[in-house]
């Protein structure tokens, strides 16, 4: 049995394959109304499916990191969790952009798109999580 950061036994949660299946069904159920008009478009459906797969994996990793952070709190896990959440947000924005519902948010005066700013923040969170020294 695993021990938490405070020495208490960690209770078992749902298995990862079951969690991935539930998250996949949930993500597809939520984005289905968005992608239904594009199902008959032969070239865009593959692009949209790629974004759905990326969004599913990002949400799965976010939830697993939230569970891990709940078990043993620490700044490294916090930064990794925030990085995965930023990845899920970026993938959702790119899915909206691929379906032409919302164009990518653009800071036209700077020539910067919002997803690129979020990706930079995500990389910073991952970097802080990996390079953070525990004292």
| Domain coordinates in residue numbering, the chain | 53-135
Give, in order, the Cα–Cα distances in Å from 68 to each of 59, 113, 121, 128: 14, 32, 21, 17
Query: Distance between CA 22 and CA 64 in Å, rounded?
Result: 13
Give, in order, the Cα–Cα distances in Å from 77 to each of 3, 44, 82, 131: 16, 36, 9, 12
Residue 9: per-residue pLDDT: 59
Q: Return the structure tokens found at 13.
A: 């949660």
Q: Which portions of the chain are predicted below pLDDT 70?
A: 1-13, 102-109, 133-135
Q: Return the structure tokens found at 14.
A: 């749902």
Residue 84: per-residue pLDDT: 92
Q: Return the structure tokens found at 131.
A: 């390079």
pTM: 0.78
Residue 135: per-residue pLDDT: 66
Q: For 58-91, b where at least 16 C-beta lie within 10 A, e where not — what string?
A: bbbbbbbbeeebebeeeebbbbbbbbbbbbbbbb
For tokens 């070239």, name the residue.
43
Residue 6: per-residue pLDDT: 60
Residue 48: per-residue pLDDT: 84
Residue 55: per-residue pLDDT: 93
């Amino acid at each position: 049995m695993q021990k938490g950061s405070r020495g208490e036994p960690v209770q078992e949660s749902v298995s990862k394959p079951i969690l991935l299946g539930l998250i996949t069904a949930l993500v597809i159920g939520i984005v289905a109304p968005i992608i239904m008009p594009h199902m008959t478009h032969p070239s865009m459906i593959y692009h949209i499916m790629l974004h759905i797969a990326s969004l599913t994996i990002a949400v799965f990793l976010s939830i697993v990191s939230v569970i891990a952070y709940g078990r043993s709190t620490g700044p490294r896990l916090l930064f990794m969790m925030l990085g995965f959440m930023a990845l899920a947000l970026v993938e959702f924005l790119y899915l909206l952009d691929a379906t032409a519902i919302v164009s990518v948010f653009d800071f036209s005066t700077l020539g910067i798109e919002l997803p690129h700013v979020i990706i930079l923040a995500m990389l910073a969170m991952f970097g802080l999580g990996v390079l953070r020294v525990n004292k």
